[in-house]
């Protein structure tokens, strides 16, 4: 009935629907996108991230947890700190998914162009 795997023609790129949902839910929030952007530039502690926002430390921790749950960031212990780093592999998978959607769209437009050209 319903396939629970988003199928991508390139091997190793497929993501489950649940993974896609978590990634795009995480990216739907501007604060989380900013945390991801910052963490891709270099590892930062949750405290360093929290200092950049007008919200509680706990709120920033929750945002980081959503990003981590989506696989977009990792947290590694360093002494008493937890360093947050962006995960480019998950971003590449999300990009590959969007590329696959774009390819579907382009093929549809090409078919439409061909139909119109036949008239």
CA distance 41 to 85: 8
What CATH number was assigned to the domain covering residues 16-118? 1.10.10.10
Closest by CA to 8, choosing from 95, 87, 107, 111, is 95
Tens digits of pLDDT across the chain (119 residues)? 445 544 444 444 678 889 999 999 999 999 999 999 999 999 999 999 999 999 999 999 999 999 999 999 999 999 999 999 999 999 999 998 889 888 888 888 778 877 788 76
Q: Which sequence spans correspond to the domains of the chain? A: 16-118
């Amino acid at each position: 009935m319903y396939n629970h795997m988003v199928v991508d023609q390139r091997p190793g790129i497929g993501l489950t629907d649940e993974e896609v949902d978590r990634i795009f839910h995480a990216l739907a929030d501007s604060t989380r996108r900013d945390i991801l952007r910052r963490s891709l530039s270099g590892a930062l502690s949750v405290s360093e991230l929290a200092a950049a926002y007008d919200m509680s430390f706990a709120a920033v921790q929750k945002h980081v947890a959503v990003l981590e749950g989506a696989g977009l960031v990792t947290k590694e212990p360093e002494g008493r700190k937890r360093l947050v780093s962006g995960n480019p592999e998950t971003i590449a998978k999300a990009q590959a998914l969007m590329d696959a959607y774009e390819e579907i769209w382009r093929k549809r437009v090409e078919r439409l162009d061909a139909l119109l050209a036949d008239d």
